[in-house]
A = this chain, B = another copy of it.
């Protein structure tokens, strides 16, 4: 099953577990807990947020452990990292491939918009610059519906 065709969080969990196993990485309780959280989360959690959730079940877990698990999943291309220089990085475990994001600068919510015809843009760039494009990052910053109302 391709990564962009997971319909349930169970699919994603199974897929991430399979990737870990196929690379001979051990399935530890901490790793399983993080995978479950990532596979289920509708938002784009930070390491700190994952940490808080894991600690509900495993109170002795170290923050460093979460960082290590996140780094591992990123390395295995099972997790997309959205790095921000001025605040915590955020993670997308459901769609671990580059795709556009819409970010509310007020409540920090991050959403995945549907978007057509981005590939042609990418090809135009490659043709005009001579670059071999490996990946990309497209973020739109603004105010979500709710935060527009409050103002």
Query: Which positions 120-151 of chain A face chain B at CB distance < 8 Å?
Result: 121-122, 124-126, 128-145, 148
Q: Which of B104, B122, B124, B138 contacts A136 (CB 8 A)?
A: B138
Residues of B within 8 A of A138 (CB): 136-139
Count the copies.
2
**CA gap between A144 and B144 in the complex, in Å:** 36
Residues of B within 8 A of A85 (CB): 83-85, 89
With both chains docked as a complex, state the minimum distance between the C-beta of A151 and any C-beta of chain B, in angstroms. Answer: 10
Q: Tell me, yes or no, whether A33 is within 8 Å of chain B by CB.
A: no
B132 near A148 (CB under 8 angstroms)? yes
A residues bordering B, Cβ < 8 Å? 83-86, 89, 100, 102, 104-105, 111, 113-118, 121-122, 124-126, 128-145, 148
Residues of B within 8 A of A142 (CB): 126, 131-135
Residues of B within 8 A of A117 (CB): 121
A125 near B143 (CB under 8 angstroms)? no
